[in-house]
Amino acid sequence: MSRLPEGFLWGGATAANQCEGGYLEGGRGLANVDVVPAGKDRFPVAEGKMVMTECDDAHVYPSHEAIDMYHHYKEDIKLFAEMGFKCYRFSIAWSRIFPMGDEAEPNEEGLAFYESMIDECLKYGIEPLITICHFDVPMHLITEYGSWRSRKMVDFYVRYCEAIFTRFKDKVKYWLTFNEINMLLHLPFMGAGLLIKEGENADQVKYQAAHNELVASALATKRAHEINPGFMIGCMLAAGNTYANTCAPQDVWKSMEKDRENYFFIDVQSRGAYPNYALKMFERENINIQMEPQDAQILKENTVDFISFSYYSSRLTSADPQVSQKTEGNVFATLKNPYLEASEWGWQIDPLGLRITMNAMYDRYQKPLFIVENGLGAVDTKEEDGSIHDEYRIAYLREHIKAMKDAVNIDGVELLGYTPWGCIDLVSAGTGEMRKRYGFIYVDKDDEGKGTLERSRKDSFEWYKRVIATNGEELD
């Protein structure tokens, strides 16, 4: 058989802070993602090296309006339905539900907003896939508690999960606890609300925060299964295997070490215990993680039901310091692979790398996978007649879908679905730009914040509609 399974979840993915806007509407509280500006200060702020805990007049903050999905979601979901989406992955903004983060009761207006979004999906037979935390942390939890460096965050997060699990228990089945949990290591402020103080051992802070997130994720999984045993809870990794630059054993070893930096999180979430290589690394690096006596059992007993991940590219590493020609990638740069083309942003294009990554993850975890992000960020041109010919995006997606099908049909990887990133144009997480577009749907807004916000269909819209209608059989 060489077909994808019936019921395969084709769809698209977005995140609240990159598309919703309405950042102070409906009782929503300020979050870390609201103070990460566009422009040259974006990276230092996202890394937690430049402290910004409130907005100022000198910066532009793209999340404040984004594409204003807060007011356009009905129109947007209708367009997703027109493409035939079976599934829509979106995130709930934590600070819409708990504006400060430490309140006892949730904000009804926030819950009602998401209920309406979910109902809109269900109206068209679209299965919601909800990311509980896509980078956002209520600002009050950062200034008052130090965000995920504090154990108290576990309780606040679980309370938030309970509120949404209970409210949506009969409407939502698929949940992801943390988007790209490994981003915490690379963008500690944007990914987890962490501010690293001068002179602090950054790894100590990050791995303590990681532990707190891992326990929170396991406890959320526990509560989820108690509230509705039918819930499917997933973890989420910024994936992409690391290749060795040569067959020199030192290069191969280095690539293994690099992959373990990422696998570490999923090893805990999926296998239920800290891997030995991580425990040894903590010892070597003098990292002392404060754990509660019950933590090991919590992690062991509450592993995830499926493994989701984003894939944009493979990575490349070398043990030889002379090999240093780099190119951009998802958040962090990687060595340039001479066999690969790259996007306008320098992200290398490697469809076979998706098949390699899927096989590596499935071999390691033996649980169903879900590709919840993949896509090409590119500049689109709107022609005078309003059409947008994005054949480069179609080419990228076509080749990745072929590789994904090979992993399923030839290699036997279990795959629940495919939700390409930014199915509607949205703000880039890495750069804060609008012109880095991923969508099948064009949104009239530029980097200066100007535009009518009007939505229009790109050529890829009709193409993807046919892909879904044929369950991935017609790709041309």
Alpha helices in 335-421 (DSSP H): 351-365, 391-409
Give the nearest distance from C-beta 299 to ligand BG6 in angstroms. 24
Q: Considering only the stretches 200-208, 226-234, 395-403, 426-434, report the one whose residues sit in contact with ligand BG6 under the rule CB under 6 A.
A: 426-434
Kindly state whether residue 327 participates in binding ligand BG6, applying the rule CB under 6 A.
Answer: no
For ligand BG6, which residue of 429, 434, 443, 467 counts as binding (CB under 6 A)?
Answer: 429
- Residue 462: other Cβ atoms inside 10 A: 14
Kindly state whether residue 467 participates in binding ligand BG6, applying the rule CB under 6 A.
Answer: no
Kindly state whether residue 421 participates in binding ligand BG6, applying the rule CB under 6 A.
Answer: yes
Q: Which of residues 9-28 bind ligand BG6 (CB under 6 A)?
A: 15, 18
- Residue 257: other Cβ atoms inside 10 A: 13
Catalytic residue status for 180? yes
Burial 16-47 (b: 16+ CB within 10 A, else e): bbbbbbbbeebebbbbbbbbbbbeeebbebbb
Find, among 191, 356, 175, the residue nearest to 269 by Cα. 175
Catalytic residue status for 301? no
- Residue 64: other Cβ atoms inside 10 A: 17
Kindly state whether residue 436 participates in binding ligand BG6, applying the rule CB under 6 A.
Answer: yes
In the complex with ligand BG6, the residue whose CB is nearer, 107 or 269, is 269
How far is 350 from 314, CA to CA, in rounded Å?
Answer: 6
Find, among 193, 96, 180, 79, the residue nearest to 141 by Cα. 193
Kindly state whether residue 221 participates in binding ligand BG6, applying the rule CB under 6 A.
Answer: no
In the complex with ligand BG6, the residue whose CB is nearer, 18 or 334, is 18
Give the nearest distance from C-beta 24 to ligand BG6 in angstroms. 21
Do residues 182 and 265 touch, judged by C-beta distance below 8 A? yes
Q: How many residues line the site for ligand BG6 (CB under 6 A)?
A: 15
Region at 7 (left for phi over 0; alpha for psi -120 to 50; beta for the rest): left
For ligand BG6, which residue of 136, 180, 259, 406 counts as binding (CB under 6 A)?
Answer: 180
How far is 182 from 336, CA to CA, in rounded Å?
Answer: 22
Kindly state whether residue 330 participates in binding ligand BG6, applying the rule CB under 6 A.
Answer: yes
In the complex with ligand BG6, the residue whose CB is nearer, 18 or 419, is 18
User: Which residues lie near ligand BG6 (CB under 6 A)?
Assistant: 15, 18, 179-180, 238, 310, 330, 373, 377, 421, 428-431, 436
Catalytic residues: 180, 373
